[in-house]
Protein backbone atom coordinates (compact mmCIF):
# COMPACT_ATOMS: atom_id res chain seq x y z
CA UNK A 1 0.00 0.00 0.00
CA UNK A 2 1.23 3.52 -0.77
CA UNK A 3 1.64 6.22 1.87
CA UNK A 4 -1.34 8.53 2.30
CA UNK A 5 -2.96 11.30 4.30
CA UNK A 6 -6.73 11.37 4.60
CA UNK A 7 -8.98 14.03 6.05
CA UNK A 8 -12.64 14.45 5.22
CA UNK A 9 -14.31 17.20 7.22
CA UNK A 10 -17.76 17.06 5.58
CA UNK A 11 -20.59 16.49 8.05
CA UNK A 12 -23.14 14.15 6.50
CA UNK A 13 -26.75 14.45 7.63
CA UNK A 14 -28.50 11.43 6.15
CA UNK A 15 -32.10 10.25 6.05
CA UNK A 16 -35.77 10.87 5.57
CA UNK A 17 -36.93 14.33 6.65
CA UNK A 18 -33.46 15.56 7.53
CA UNK A 19 -33.66 18.68 5.35
CA UNK A 20 -35.38 20.28 8.33
CA UNK A 21 -31.99 20.30 10.10
CA UNK A 22 -30.64 22.76 7.53
CA UNK A 23 -31.15 25.96 9.50
CA UNK A 24 -29.45 24.70 12.65
CA UNK A 25 -26.32 23.83 10.64
CA UNK A 26 -25.86 27.27 9.06
CA UNK A 27 -23.76 29.74 11.06
CA UNK A 28 -25.86 32.25 12.95
CA UNK A 29 -26.11 35.62 11.20
CA UNK A 30 -24.94 34.23 7.85
CA UNK A 31 -25.98 36.03 4.70
CA UNK A 32 -26.89 33.22 2.33
CA UNK A 33 -26.87 32.83 -1.43
CA UNK A 34 -29.06 29.83 -2.31
CA UNK A 35 -27.93 28.31 -5.61
CA UNK A 36 -30.08 25.99 -7.70
CA UNK A 37 -30.52 24.60 -11.21
CA UNK A 38 -33.36 24.61 -13.70
CA UNK A 39 -36.21 24.47 -11.22
CA UNK A 40 -36.69 20.79 -10.26
CA UNK A 41 -36.52 21.85 -6.60
CA UNK A 42 -39.76 23.82 -6.98
CA UNK A 43 -41.66 20.80 -8.34
CA UNK A 44 -40.60 18.14 -5.85
CA UNK A 45 -41.04 20.03 -2.60
CA UNK A 46 -37.33 20.34 -1.79
CA UNK A 47 -37.40 24.14 -2.06
CA UNK A 48 -40.33 24.37 0.36
CA UNK A 49 -38.48 22.21 2.91
CA UNK A 50 -35.36 24.35 2.53
CA UNK A 51 -37.30 27.59 2.88
CA UNK A 52 -39.07 26.37 6.01
CA UNK A 53 -35.78 25.44 7.64
CA UNK A 54 -33.83 28.63 6.88
CA UNK A 55 -36.56 30.97 8.13
CA UNK A 56 -35.01 34.02 9.74
CA UNK A 57 -31.84 34.04 7.66
CA UNK A 58 -31.08 36.81 5.20
CA UNK A 59 -31.09 34.93 1.86
CA UNK A 60 -30.81 35.73 -1.86
CA UNK A 61 -31.52 33.14 -4.56
CA UNK A 62 -29.55 32.40 -7.72
CA UNK A 63 -31.06 29.89 -10.16
CA UNK A 64 -30.35 28.69 -13.66
CA UNK A 65 -27.15 26.73 -13.06
CA UNK A 66 -27.08 24.32 -15.98
CA UNK A 67 -26.20 20.60 -16.03
CA UNK A 68 -22.43 20.71 -16.67
CA UNK A 69 -22.39 24.17 -15.09
CA UNK A 70 -21.25 27.05 -17.25
CA UNK A 71 -18.44 29.36 -16.20
CA UNK A 72 -20.33 32.20 -17.86
CA UNK A 73 -23.38 31.67 -15.59
CA UNK A 74 -21.33 31.09 -12.45
CA UNK A 75 -19.43 34.35 -12.86
CA UNK A 76 -22.78 36.19 -12.56
CA UNK A 77 -23.22 34.61 -9.14
CA UNK A 78 -19.65 35.59 -8.20
CA UNK A 79 -20.64 39.23 -8.75
CA UNK A 80 -23.65 38.81 -6.46
CA UNK A 81 -21.51 37.21 -3.74
CA UNK A 82 -19.12 40.15 -3.84
CA UNK A 83 -21.69 42.93 -4.16
CA UNK A 84 -24.06 41.54 -1.53
CA UNK A 85 -21.39 40.49 0.98
CA UNK A 86 -22.57 36.89 0.99
CA UNK A 87 -21.01 34.80 3.77
CA UNK A 88 -22.53 31.37 3.08
CA UNK A 89 -23.41 29.47 -0.10
CA UNK A 90 -26.28 26.99 0.03
CA UNK A 91 -26.35 24.57 -2.90
CA UNK A 92 -29.71 22.89 -3.49
CA UNK A 93 -29.51 20.47 -6.42
CA UNK A 94 -27.42 17.81 -8.10
CA UNK A 95 -23.71 17.61 -8.80
CA UNK A 96 -23.82 20.43 -11.32
CA UNK A 97 -25.31 22.94 -8.90
CA UNK A 98 -22.86 21.87 -6.20
CA UNK A 99 -19.81 21.91 -8.50
CA UNK A 100 -20.88 25.30 -9.78
CA UNK A 101 -21.28 26.53 -6.21
CA UNK A 102 -17.77 25.31 -5.36
CA UNK A 103 -16.41 27.35 -8.25
CA UNK A 104 -18.42 30.40 -7.13
CA UNK A 105 -17.04 29.94 -3.60
CA UNK A 106 -13.44 29.86 -4.82
CA UNK A 107 -13.78 32.49 -7.55
CA UNK A 108 -15.34 35.05 -5.18
CA UNK A 109 -12.18 34.92 -3.03
CA UNK A 110 -9.68 34.66 -5.89
CA UNK A 111 -7.26 37.60 -5.82
CA UNK A 112 -4.92 36.85 -8.72
CA UNK A 113 -6.77 37.86 -11.88
CA UNK A 114 -9.28 35.83 -13.89
CA UNK A 115 -10.73 32.99 -11.77
CA UNK A 116 -10.78 30.78 -14.88
CA UNK A 117 -7.14 30.15 -13.98
CA UNK A 118 -8.36 28.01 -11.08
CA UNK A 119 -9.43 25.55 -13.81
CA UNK A 120 -7.08 26.28 -16.70
CA UNK A 121 -3.85 26.63 -14.71
CA UNK A 122 -4.81 24.88 -11.49
CA UNK A 123 -4.10 28.13 -9.60
CA UNK A 124 -4.28 27.30 -5.90
CA UNK A 125 -7.49 28.08 -4.04
CA UNK A 126 -6.30 29.90 -0.93
CA UNK A 127 -9.73 30.79 0.39
CA UNK A 128 -13.40 30.11 -0.35
CA UNK A 129 -16.85 31.08 0.90
CA UNK A 130 -18.19 28.23 3.09
CA UNK A 131 -20.72 25.92 1.43
CA UNK A 132 -23.62 23.81 2.68
CA UNK A 133 -25.39 21.35 0.38
CA UNK A 134 -28.80 19.77 0.04
CA UNK A 135 -28.21 17.02 -2.53
CA UNK A 136 -31.03 16.07 -4.89
CA UNK A 137 -29.29 13.56 -7.16
CA UNK A 138 -26.98 10.73 -6.04
CA UNK A 139 -24.20 10.41 -8.62
CA UNK A 140 -21.10 12.55 -8.40
CA UNK A 141 -19.97 12.29 -4.78
CA UNK A 142 -19.49 16.08 -4.92
CA UNK A 143 -21.35 16.30 -1.59
CA UNK A 144 -18.37 14.79 0.24
CA UNK A 145 -15.36 15.84 -1.81
CA UNK A 146 -13.48 18.96 -2.91
CA UNK A 147 -13.80 18.45 -6.67
CA UNK A 148 -15.67 20.53 -9.22
CA UNK A 149 -16.03 20.36 -12.99
CA UNK A 150 -16.93 23.49 -14.96
CA UNK A 151 -17.64 24.07 -18.65
CA UNK A 152 -16.68 27.22 -20.56
CA UNK A 153 -19.08 27.48 -23.47
CA UNK A 154 -17.03 30.08 -25.32
CA UNK A 155 -14.08 27.71 -25.72
CA UNK A 156 -15.91 24.32 -25.48
CA UNK A 157 -13.70 23.33 -22.56
CA UNK A 158 -14.74 21.21 -19.59
CA UNK A 159 -12.13 21.38 -16.84
CA UNK A 160 -11.89 20.40 -13.18
CA UNK A 161 -10.21 21.59 -10.02
CA UNK A 162 -9.89 20.16 -6.54
CA UNK A 163 -9.39 21.88 -3.21
CA UNK A 164 -10.05 21.07 0.43
CA UNK A 165 -11.28 24.68 0.74
CA UNK A 166 -14.45 23.95 -1.24
CA UNK A 167 -15.50 20.81 0.60
CA UNK A 168 -18.99 21.44 1.95
CA UNK A 169 -19.24 22.18 5.66
CA UNK A 170 -22.22 19.83 5.66
CA UNK A 171 -24.29 17.91 3.13
CA UNK A 172 -27.86 16.82 3.71
CA UNK A 173 -28.76 13.56 1.97
CA UNK A 174 -32.45 12.74 2.12
CA UNK A 175 -33.00 9.67 -0.11
CA UNK A 176 -36.61 10.74 -0.72
CA UNK A 177 -35.36 13.46 -3.07
CA UNK A 178 -34.78 10.80 -5.70
CA UNK A 179 -38.48 9.93 -5.92
CA UNK A 180 -38.86 12.71 -8.49
CA UNK A 181 -35.85 11.74 -10.63
CA UNK A 182 -36.52 10.59 -14.20
CA UNK A 183 -35.14 7.17 -15.26
CA UNK A 184 -32.37 8.82 -17.27
CA UNK A 185 -30.94 10.58 -14.21
CA UNK A 186 -31.17 7.52 -11.97
CA UNK A 187 -29.32 5.51 -14.63
CA UNK A 188 -26.73 8.28 -14.92
CA UNK A 189 -26.23 8.23 -11.16
CA UNK A 190 -25.76 4.47 -11.00
CA UNK A 191 -23.24 4.46 -13.84
CA UNK A 192 -21.31 7.54 -12.70
CA UNK A 193 -20.90 6.13 -9.19
CA UNK A 194 -19.95 2.69 -10.57
CA UNK A 195 -17.24 4.22 -12.77
CA UNK A 196 -15.92 6.41 -9.94
CA UNK A 197 -15.16 3.21 -8.08
CA UNK A 198 -13.63 1.66 -11.18
CA UNK A 199 -11.27 4.64 -11.65
CA UNK A 200 -9.84 4.04 -8.17
CA UNK A 201 -9.91 0.23 -8.22
CA UNK A 202 -9.21 -1.05 -11.72
CA UNK A 203 -5.50 -0.25 -11.88
CA UNK A 204 -2.81 -2.62 -10.58
CA UNK A 205 -2.48 -4.44 -7.25
CA UNK A 206 -0.63 -2.74 -4.39
CA UNK A 207 -1.74 -5.17 -1.67
CA UNK A 208 -4.66 -3.08 -0.40
CA UNK A 209 -7.35 -5.58 0.53
CA UNK A 210 -9.37 -3.08 2.59
CA UNK A 211 -9.64 -0.58 -0.26
CA UNK A 212 -10.33 -3.38 -2.75
CA UNK A 213 -13.11 -4.93 -0.70
CA UNK A 214 -14.66 -1.56 0.10
CA UNK A 215 -14.63 -0.82 -3.63
CA UNK A 216 -16.15 -4.20 -4.50
CA UNK A 217 -18.87 -3.72 -1.88
CA UNK A 218 -19.87 -0.41 -3.48
CA UNK A 219 -19.89 -1.98 -6.95
CA UNK A 220 -22.00 -4.95 -5.89
CA UNK A 221 -24.38 -2.71 -3.95
CA UNK A 222 -24.89 -0.57 -7.06
CA UNK A 223 -25.47 -3.70 -9.15
CA UNK A 224 -28.04 -5.01 -6.64
CA UNK A 225 -29.79 -1.82 -5.58
CA UNK A 226 -29.61 0.17 -8.84
CA UNK A 227 -32.19 -1.94 -10.69
CA UNK A 228 -34.51 -1.80 -7.64
CA UNK A 229 -34.43 2.00 -7.79
CA UNK A 230 -35.01 1.92 -11.54
CA UNK A 231 -38.01 -0.38 -11.08
CA UNK A 232 -39.58 1.37 -8.12
CA UNK A 233 -38.60 4.96 -7.45
CA UNK A 234 -40.33 5.08 -4.08
CA UNK A 235 -38.53 2.06 -2.60
CA UNK A 236 -36.98 4.04 0.26
CA UNK A 237 -34.51 1.35 1.35
CA UNK A 238 -33.14 0.95 -2.16
CA UNK A 239 -33.00 4.74 -2.57
CA UNK A 240 -31.02 5.07 0.67
CA UNK A 241 -28.54 2.36 -0.31
CA UNK A 242 -28.10 3.86 -3.75
CA UNK A 243 -27.56 7.34 -2.33
CA UNK A 244 -24.96 6.22 0.19
CA UNK A 245 -23.15 4.15 -2.46
CA UNK A 246 -22.74 7.20 -4.68
CA UNK A 247 -21.33 9.25 -1.80
CA UNK A 248 -18.94 6.48 -0.71
CA UNK A 249 -17.77 6.03 -4.30
CA UNK A 250 -16.05 9.41 -4.39
CA UNK A 251 -15.36 10.70 -0.90
CA UNK A 252 -11.71 9.76 -1.08
CA UNK A 253 -11.89 6.72 1.19
CA UNK A 254 -11.32 4.00 -1.41
CA UNK A 255 -8.61 6.12 -3.10
CA UNK A 256 -6.23 6.19 -0.14
CA UNK A 257 -2.95 4.38 -0.66
CA UNK A 258 -3.82 3.04 -4.12
CA UNK A 259 -3.07 4.13 -7.71
CA UNK A 260 -5.86 5.93 -9.56
CA UNK A 261 -6.71 6.03 -13.25
CA UNK A 262 -9.25 8.76 -14.27
CA UNK A 263 -8.53 8.36 -18.01
CA UNK A 264 -12.17 7.47 -18.67
CA UNK A 265 -13.28 10.72 -17.03
CA UNK A 266 -10.72 12.86 -18.86
CA UNK A 267 -11.73 11.48 -22.25
CA UNK A 268 -15.42 11.56 -21.32
CA UNK A 269 -15.25 15.25 -20.42
CA UNK A 270 -14.25 15.97 -24.02
CA UNK A 271 -17.35 14.18 -25.31
CA UNK A 272 -19.49 16.38 -23.08
CA UNK A 273 -17.58 19.50 -24.11
CA UNK A 274 -18.11 18.84 -27.83
CA UNK A 275 -21.50 17.09 -27.85
CA UNK A 276 -23.20 17.89 -24.54
CA UNK A 277 -23.62 14.17 -23.80
CA UNK A 278 -24.56 13.51 -20.14
CA UNK A 279 -21.45 12.93 -18.04
CA UNK A 280 -22.26 9.33 -17.02
CA UNK A 281 -23.08 8.35 -20.60
CA UNK A 282 -19.68 9.53 -21.82
CA UNK A 283 -18.07 7.28 -19.21
CA UNK A 284 -20.15 4.26 -20.26
CA UNK A 285 -18.93 4.82 -23.83
CA UNK A 286 -15.25 5.24 -22.98
CA UNK A 287 -14.64 2.71 -20.18
CA UNK A 288 -14.91 -0.50 -22.28
CA UNK A 289 -12.27 0.96 -24.64
CA UNK A 290 -9.98 1.84 -21.73
CA UNK A 291 -10.35 -1.67 -20.29
CA UNK A 292 -9.62 -3.21 -23.67
CA UNK A 293 -6.50 -1.21 -24.45
CA UNK A 294 -5.14 -1.67 -20.92
CA UNK A 295 -6.02 -5.38 -20.71
CA UNK A 296 -2.39 -6.37 -20.07
CA UNK A 297 -1.55 -3.56 -17.67
CA UNK A 298 -4.83 -4.00 -15.74
CA UNK A 299 -4.98 -7.79 -16.10
CA UNK A 300 -4.89 -8.72 -12.40
CA UNK A 301 -7.55 -6.22 -11.38
CA UNK A 302 -9.83 -6.96 -14.35
CA UNK A 303 -9.72 -10.65 -13.39
CA UNK A 304 -10.46 -9.72 -9.77
CA UNK A 305 -13.39 -7.52 -10.84
CA UNK A 306 -14.68 -10.33 -13.04
CA UNK A 307 -14.49 -12.88 -10.26
CA UNK A 308 -15.66 -10.86 -7.28
CA UNK A 309 -18.30 -8.62 -8.86
CA UNK A 310 -19.51 -10.54 -11.91
CA UNK A 311 -18.80 -14.10 -10.70
CA UNK A 312 -16.67 -14.95 -13.74
CA UNK A 313 -14.43 -17.92 -12.98
CA UNK A 314 -14.49 -20.01 -16.17
CA UNK A 315 -12.05 -19.84 -19.07
CA UNK A 316 -8.49 -18.69 -19.55
CA UNK A 317 -7.36 -15.20 -18.53
CA UNK A 318 -8.00 -13.65 -21.94
CA UNK A 319 -11.52 -15.09 -22.11
CA UNK A 320 -12.29 -13.93 -18.58
CA UNK A 321 -11.08 -10.41 -19.41
CA UNK A 322 -13.36 -10.34 -22.47
CA UNK A 323 -16.30 -11.60 -20.40
CA UNK A 324 -15.64 -8.98 -17.70
CA UNK A 325 -15.64 -6.15 -20.25
CA UNK A 326 -18.81 -7.60 -21.77
CA UNK A 327 -20.60 -7.91 -18.39
CA UNK A 328 -19.64 -4.34 -17.49
CA UNK A 329 -21.05 -3.03 -20.78
CA UNK A 330 -24.20 -5.10 -20.34
CA UNK A 331 -24.75 -3.59 -16.91
CA UNK A 332 -24.70 -0.06 -18.34
CA UNK A 333 -27.00 -1.12 -21.16
CA UNK A 334 -29.36 -2.84 -18.69
CA UNK A 335 -30.14 0.54 -17.10
CA UNK A 336 -30.73 2.06 -20.53
CA UNK A 337 -27.34 3.60 -21.28
CA UNK A 338 -25.92 2.78 -24.74
CA UNK A 339 -22.14 2.34 -24.91
CA UNK A 340 -21.19 3.08 -28.54
CA UNK A 341 -20.35 6.46 -30.07
CA UNK A 342 -22.79 6.18 -33.01
CA UNK A 343 -25.62 5.73 -30.46
CA UNK A 344 -25.00 9.41 -29.66
CA UNK A 345 -24.39 10.56 -33.24
CA UNK A 346 -20.65 10.96 -32.67
CA UNK A 347 -18.33 10.26 -35.60
CA UNK A 348 -14.62 10.21 -36.42
CA UNK A 349 -14.46 14.04 -36.72
CA UNK A 350 -14.88 14.30 -32.98
CA UNK A 351 -12.22 11.65 -32.39
CA UNK A 352 -9.80 13.78 -34.44
CA UNK A 353 -10.64 16.90 -32.42
CA UNK A 354 -10.21 15.11 -29.09
CA UNK A 355 -6.86 13.61 -30.09
CA UNK A 356 -5.59 17.01 -31.27
CA UNK A 357 -6.55 18.46 -27.93
CA UNK A 358 -4.68 15.79 -25.97
CA UNK A 359 -1.67 16.25 -28.27
CA UNK A 360 -1.59 19.99 -27.47
CA UNK A 361 -1.83 19.32 -23.75
CA UNK A 362 1.29 17.23 -24.08
CA UNK A 363 0.78 14.90 -21.11
CA UNK A 364 -0.36 11.28 -20.98
CA UNK A 365 -3.17 10.00 -18.78
CA UNK A 366 -4.03 6.85 -16.79
CA UNK A 367 -2.49 5.27 -13.69
CA UNK A 368 0.74 4.61 -15.56
CA UNK A 369 0.56 7.74 -17.76
CA UNK A 370 0.57 5.46 -20.80
CA UNK A 371 -2.37 6.93 -22.73
CA UNK A 372 -1.45 9.69 -25.19
CA UNK A 373 -3.25 10.86 -28.35
CA UNK A 374 -2.53 7.61 -30.27
CA UNK A 375 -3.90 5.37 -27.53
CA UNK A 376 -6.89 7.67 -26.98
CA UNK A 377 -7.66 7.34 -30.69
CA UNK A 378 -7.64 3.54 -30.36
CA UNK A 379 -9.91 3.71 -27.31
CA UNK A 380 -12.46 5.88 -29.13
CA UNK A 381 -12.23 3.91 -32.39
CA UNK A 382 -13.01 0.79 -30.35
CA UNK A 383 -16.32 2.50 -29.51
CA UNK A 384 -17.41 3.22 -33.12
Interface ranges with Zn ion (CB under 5 A): 192
Minimum Å gap between C-beta 137 and ligand NZQ is 4
Distance between CA atoms of residues 331 and 134, nearest Å? 29
Nearest Cα to Cα of residue 230 among 189, 188, 178, 183? 183
| Site string (16-45) toward ligand NZQ, x via CB under 6 A | ---------------------xxxxx--x-
- Exactly one of 53, 73, 185, 264 binds ligand NZQ (CB under 6 A); that residue is 185
Nearest Cα to Cα of residue 160 among 75, 257, 71, 249? 71
How many residues in the shown chain lie near ligand NZQ by CB under 6 A?
33
* C-alpha dihedral, 294 to 299 to 304 to 309, nearest 10°: 30
**CA dist list (Å): 224 to 231, 241, 245, 339:** 12, 10, 11, 21
Closer residue to Zn ion, CB minimum distance, 63 or 100: 100
- Exactly one of 70, 265, 281, 383 binds ligand NZQ (CB under 6 A); that residue is 265
Distance between CA atoms of residues 319 and 212, nearest Å? 23
Sign of CA dihedral 155, 159, 163, 166: positive
Closer residue to Zn ion, CB minimum distance, 54 or 280: 280
| Site string (85-104) toward ligand NZQ, x via CB under 6 A | --------xxxxx-x-----
Nearest Cα to Cα of residue 53 among 72, 94, 25? 25
CB 173 within 8 A of CB 143: yes
Closer residue to Zn ion, CB minimum distance, 53 or 147: 147
Is position 136 an interface residue for ligand NZQ (rule: CB under 6 A)?
yes
Is position 118 an interface residue for ligand NZQ (rule: CB under 6 A)?
no
Strand positions, DSSP E, the chain: 11-14, 31-35, 58-62, 88-93, 131-135, 147-152, 157-162, 170-173
Task: Point out the residue whose Cβ comes nearest to Zn ion.
Answer: 192
Count other C-beta atoms under 10 Å from residue 96's C-beta. 26
- Exactly one of 73, 147, 171, 211 binds ligand NZQ (CB under 6 A); that residue is 147
Minimum Å gap between C-beta 185 and ligand NZQ is 5
CA angle 306, 311, 314 (to 5 degrees): 80
Minimum Å gap between C-beta 60 and ligand NZQ is 18
Quick one: what does residue 147 bind among Zn ion, ligand NZQ, none, with the CB cut-off 5 to 8 Å set by partner type? Answer: ligand NZQ
Closer residue to ligand NZQ, CB minimum distance, 250 or 321: 250
Minimum Å gap between C-beta 184 and Zn ion is 16
Minimum Å gap between C-beta 315 and ligand NZQ is 33
Distance between CA atoms of residues 153 and 219, nearest Å? 34
Closer residue to Zn ion, CB minimum distance, 267 or 305: 267
Q: Which residues bind ligand NZQ (CB under 6 A)?
A: 37-41, 44, 67-68, 93-97, 99, 136-137, 139-142, 145, 147-149, 177, 180-181, 185, 188, 192, 250, 265, 279
Amino acid sequence: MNNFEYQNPVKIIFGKGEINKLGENIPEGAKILLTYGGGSIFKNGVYDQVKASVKGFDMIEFGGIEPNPHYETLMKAVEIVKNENITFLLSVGGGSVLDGTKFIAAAACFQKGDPWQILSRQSPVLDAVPIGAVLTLPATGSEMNGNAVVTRVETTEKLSFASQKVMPVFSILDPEVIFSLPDTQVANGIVDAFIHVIEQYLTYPVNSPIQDRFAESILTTLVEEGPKVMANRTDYEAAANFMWSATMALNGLIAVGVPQDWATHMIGHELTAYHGIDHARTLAIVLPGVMHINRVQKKDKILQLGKRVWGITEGNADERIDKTIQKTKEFFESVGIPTKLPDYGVSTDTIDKICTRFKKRGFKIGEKANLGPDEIRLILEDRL
